[in-house]
């Protein structure tokens, strides 16, 4: 186990270095730089600006300098918001995005698993059809359509919930639900199909034959095994929720990190592009690692280290 963890940690660091290097190269190869603007700056001003941010040096030198700073966890200063360091942006923005993301994942998981279980246990009945139609809608309606609709009805028409801002719990409800909508649909469908698969297995029949109450069969025997596919998508799901929060954060005026993911590229704000990419990559790599560890816990047949149990 320890050896496995050690090996994974080294791999994680190598992946991160590769991602950082690749991003660095790609970022500098797209047209435009942070100072490209509609009103052209005088040549001298441009040179002064480049010198200020060290962009006047050859690219390899910039790379070495960046990596040197990265090791010291110094991600530099945003070129657009000159008074803010990338570390500040991450420290202030990520907790907000994470809060929103975790809340959405919880909504998606809780509601999705329950809905999936209901659909599976009532296969081909009206409630199953209803939930599946709902899941299709959830997967196909994008957040930028759903969010204004929610704002219009829950906020303006019925005056139930605030439609913007951050800080109090009631402000988090609408954005969490909007963000959870698509993953919720996915979890519902996955839970339903894997439940149906498990329900047909011999050991479930045995459990039922032993006279166990259906609720117990469902929760202890069926769900535990049916949940594996759901756990498998947890890594990518977290990624999707965190990186996909941009639209929701923008619509609900939430001070999260999502927008930097898009804006920094539009602005060619090099330090922010690098910082946010490396940060999210590190986060996702760690998440995937944790999911792998979770497999072993849920299903002891899955041995970590890559060797299948006989």
Partner 1 sequence: MGKGISRGIALLSVLSMVFLAACGGGNSADKGGKGELAEKQEITLGNIPSEPPGLDPLDAKDSVSGDILSQTMVGLTKMDKKGEPIPGIAEKWDANEDMTQITFHLRDAQWSNGDPVTAEDFEYAWKRMLDPKNGAVYAYQLFYLKNGEKYNKGKAKADEVGVKAVDEKTLEVTLEQPTPYFLSLTTFYSLKPVPKKVVEANKDWASEADSYVCNGPFKVKSWKHDAKIVLEKNDKYYDADKVKLTQINLPFIADQKTGYQMFQTGDVDSSNSNIVPTDLTKKLLDSGEAKGVPQIATYTVEFNTKKKPFNNKKVRKAFSMAIDRKQIVENVLEGGQEPANGWVPWGMPDFAAGKDFAEVHGKYIEPTPQPDEAKKLLAEGLKEEGLKKMPEMTYLYNTDDGHKKIAEALQQMWKENLGVDIKLGNVEWKVFLERKTAGDFDLVRFGWLPDYIDPMTFMDVYMTDSGNNDPKFSNKKYDELIKKAKSTADQKVRMQALHEAEDLLMDEMPTAPLYWYTRVYMDKDYVKNVYRAIDGSVFYEEAYLTEK
Q: Of the two residues 159 and 206, which places its CB atom closer to partner 1 in the complex? A: 159
Per CB under 8 A, 161 contacts partner 1: no
What are 81's two structure tokens? 């918001």
31-70 footprint of partner 1 as x/- string (CB under 8 A)? xxx-xxxxxxxxxxx--xxxxxx-----------------
89-108 footprint of partner 1 as x/- string (CB under 8 A)? x--xx---------------
Stretch that binds partner 1, among 10-18, 152-160, 175-183, 229-237 (CB under 8 A): 152-160
Closest contact distance (angstroms) between CB of 105 and partner 1 is: 22
Question: How are the residues of the chain apportioned to helix, strand and coil, as percentages rounded to the nearest 5?
Answer: 75, 0, 25
Per CB under 8 A, 141 contacts partner 1: no
Nearest alpha carbon to residue 261 among 85, 76, 90, 126: 90
Among 81, 121, 193, 232, binds partner 1 (CB under 8 A): 81
Closest contact distance (angstroms) between CB of 197 and partner 1 is: 42
Among 166, 283, 289, 295, binds partner 1 (CB under 8 A): 166
Closest contact distance (angstroms) between CB of 64 and partner 1 is: 22
CA quadruple 147, 149, 154, 159: dihedral sign: positive
Distances (CA, A) of 179 to 146, 150, 195, 197, 254: 9, 12, 25, 29, 13
Q: Of the two residues 66 and 252, which places its CB atom closer to partner 1 in the complex? A: 252
Stretch that binds partner 1, among 16-24, 67-75, 191-199, 255-263 (CB under 8 A): 255-263
Per CB under 8 A, 129 contacts partner 1: no
Per CB under 8 A, 164 contacts partner 1: yes
Q: What is the 3-state secondary structure (H, E, C) of 157-180?
A: HCCCCCCCCCCCHHHHHHHHHHHH
Per CB under 8 A, 256 contacts partner 1: yes
Q: Of the two residues 77 and 187, which places its CB atom closer to partner 1 in the complex? A: 77
Q: Of the two residues 164 and 203, which places its CB atom closer to partner 1 in the complex? A: 164
Among 146, 251, 276, 284, binds partner 1 (CB under 8 A): 251
What are 77's two structure tokens? 């200063």
Among 18, 266, 286, 305, binds partner 1 (CB under 8 A): 266
Q: Of the two residues 92 and 106, which places its CB atom closer to partner 1 in the complex? A: 92
Residue 290: CB atoms within 10 A of its CB come to: 12
| Distance in angstroms (rounded) separating the CA atoms of residues 74 and 18 | 18
Number of residues that bind partner 1 (CB under 8 A): 50
Enumerate binding residues for partner 1 (CB under 8 A): 30-33, 35-45, 48-53, 80-84, 88-89, 92-93, 148, 151-152, 155-156, 159, 163-166, 250-253, 255-256, 259, 263, 266, 268
């Amino acid at each position: 186990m320890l050896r496995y963890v050690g090996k994974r940690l080294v791999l994680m660091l190598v992946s991160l270095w590769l991602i950082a290097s690749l991003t660095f190269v790609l970022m500098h190869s797209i047209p435009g730089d942070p100072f490209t603007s509609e009103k052209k700056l005088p040549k001298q001003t441009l040179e002064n600006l480049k010198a200020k941010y060290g962009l006047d040096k050859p690219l390899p030198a910039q790379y070495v300098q960046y990596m040197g700073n990265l090791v010291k966890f110094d991600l530099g200063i945003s070129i657009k918001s000159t008074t803010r360091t990338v570390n500040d942006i991450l420290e202030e923005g990520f907790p907000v995005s994470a809060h929103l993301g975790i809340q959405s994942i919880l909504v998606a998981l809780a509601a999705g698993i329950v809905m999936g279980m209901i659909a599976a246990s009532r296969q081909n009945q009206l409630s199953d059809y209803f939930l599946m139609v709902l899941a299709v809608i959830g997967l196909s309606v994008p957040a930028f359509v759903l969010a204004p609709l929610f704002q219009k009805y829950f906020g303006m028409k019925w005056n139930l919930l605030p439609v913007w801002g951050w800080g109090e719990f009631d402000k988090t409800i609408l954005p969490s639900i909007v963000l959870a909508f698509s993953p919720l649909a996915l979890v519902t469908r996955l839970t339903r199909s894997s439940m149906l698969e498990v329900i047909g297995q011999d050991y479930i029949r045995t459990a039922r034959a032993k006279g166990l109450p259906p609720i117990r069969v469902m929760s202890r025997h069926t769900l535990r095994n049916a949940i594996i596919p759901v756990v498998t998508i947890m890594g990518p799901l977290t990624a999707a929720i965190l990186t996909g929060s941009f639209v929701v954060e923008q619509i609900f005026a939430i001070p999260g990190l999502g927008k930097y993911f898009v804006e920094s590229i539009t602005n060619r704000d090099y330090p922010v592009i690098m910082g946010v990419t490396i940060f999210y990559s590190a986060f996702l790599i760690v998440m995937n690692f944790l999911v792998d560890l979770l497999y072993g816990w849920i299903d002891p047949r899955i041995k970590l280290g890559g060797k299948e149990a006989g």
